[in-house]
Amino acid sequence: MGSSTLPIARIKTIMKSCPDVETIGHDASVIVGRATELFISHLAVEAYKKSAGKKLDYKDIAEIVQTDDRLDFLREMVPRKITVREFKELLKRKNRRSKTEEVNGSNGNGENSDSSSSEESSDDDDDESESSEDSEHSTLS
């Protein structure tokens, strides 16, 4: 069986980090290594095809991850980068929405603010990719 260019010992360590895994055979670690290499190669090639220049940047990889449904499991780990200005604008919109929801929720007409949550889910992906940054910001406050 061929060998992987990724370090087999590191692959085994990562695989053993799962509490359900006790031992890993050499062949299994080689196969996982090769599959990882193929996945990384595919991701890089697809991102490069969509890149604007001759250089592959983080934004190219993030764009592929955010637009390819097969890569949706990576979306939280590879978010689109945004500027500080864009982040502040998103935060302002979010704060305005939550204030509006508080007012609508306490108007006494028996309606809850669930209708606005469906609006939030239909917003662009930037709001989704910033949820982790929003939480970081709120923990720093």
Identify whether the C-beta of residue 111 lies closer than 8 Å to the C-beta of residue 52: no
What pLDDT digit, counting tens, does each position of 85-103 carry? 988 998 999 888 888 887 8
Token duo for residue 100: 């509006």
Against a cut of 0.75, is the pTM above it? no
Across residues 32-42, what is the average pLDDT?
Answer: 95
DSSP code of 127?
A: H
* Fold classified for 8-74: Histone, subunit A (1.10.20)
Residue 83 pLDDT exceeds 70: yes
